Amino acid sequence: GENVEQHPSTLSVQEGDSAVIKCTYSDSASNYFPWYKQELGKRPQLIIDIRSNVGEKKDQRIAVTLNKTAKHFSLHITETQPEDSAVYFCAASKTGGGNKLTFGTGTQLKVEL
């Protein structure tokens, strides 16, 4: 089955700096890669996703890049703000795989003033 690795497990940045979280996946058939933000005790919230037919997607301060050859994708957050502090999860799934998501291990992002 699919295996998704995520790094780093914790990330501390100064407000205004950029943050980058990286994930690798094992199943070359995976074609959908969402990123979720989860605050303590809350549900995961989709912040951005990317399909395998594009290499990059941007939404304001958030961007995701995908390298299908290397089987890795990354989340980039620019101009970080304290409210960006949360746990971020990457995930992967594939069409025909029952829409089943395999999650990475998570990254605790802390944005310091």
Residues in touch with another protein (CB under 8 A):
31-32, 34, 41-46, 49, 51, 89, 93-95, 97-106, 108
Q: What minimum distance in Å lies between the beta carbon of 28 and another protein?
A: 16
Q: What minimum distance in Å lies between the beta carbon of 35 and another protein?
A: 12
Nearer to another protein, 67 or 95 (CB): 95
Nearer to another protein, 42 or 58 (CB): 42
Report the SS3 class of residue 84: helix
Q: What is the DSSP string of 28-57?
A: TT--EEEEEEE-TTS--EEEEEEETT-SEE
Q: How far apart are CA 11 and CA 5, in angstroms?
A: 16
Inter-residue contact 102 to 34 (CB < 8 Å): no
Nearer to another protein, 14 or 99 (CB): 99
**Residue given tokens 């746990």 in the structure block:** 87
Nearer to another protein, 14 or 41 (CB): 41
- The partner residues of 53 in beta bridges, in order of sequence, read none
Q: What minimum distance in Å lies between the beta carbon of 83 and another protein?
A: 19
Q: What minimum distance in Å lies between the beta carbon of 105 and another protein?
A: 5
